[in-house]
Amino acid sequence: MTPEKSDKKPNPALSKPVQPDDVLAAVVGKDPIPRSEITKRLWDYIKKNGLQDAKVKTNINADDKLKAVFGGKATVTMFEMTKLVSAHIKKG
C-alpha cells in the first residue's frame, strides 16, 4: 500500500517573503525571507549558541541579540518566541 498523497497546500502567508526589522536582522539577516525561513534561522542560531534550555527543552535562554528580539526577556518558551518575533517583521 502506498500512503495517500496529502491535498494540504502550504500556507501562502508562510512562504511569502517578509522584511525583518534591524533587531531581528541581527540574528536572521537583513534580506526579505519567508516566515518559515526566519523560524529555521532562529533555531539554527539557538542551537549553534547553545541557547536551548538543557532541562526544559521548550525554553530558550536568550543572549544579548535574542533579548532584544524577545523584548528584554531572558527566557521565553518556543511558543512565546513566535509571537515575539512577529513584532519584528515588516509586512510587505
Residue pLDDT, tens place only, 5-51: 555 666 676 689 999 999 999 999 999 999 999 999 999 999 999 99
pLDDT computed for residue 12 by the predictor: 73
What burial class does residue 75 get, using C-beta atoms within 10 Å of its C-beta: 0-12 exposed, 13-18 middle, 19+ buried? middle
Q: Residue 12 falls within a domain, yes or no?
A: no
pLDDT at 7: 59
In-domain check, residue 67: yes
Write down the number of H helices and E strands in the chain. Answer: 5, 5
55: in domain: yes
Q: Would residue 1 count as lying in a domain?
A: no
CATH number at 59 reads 1.10.245.10
Residue-range definition of the domain harbouring residue 76: 17-90
Dihedral angle of Cα 6, 8, 10, 11, to the nearest 10 degrees: -160
Residue 79 in any domain: the answer is yes
Residue 26 domain flag: yes
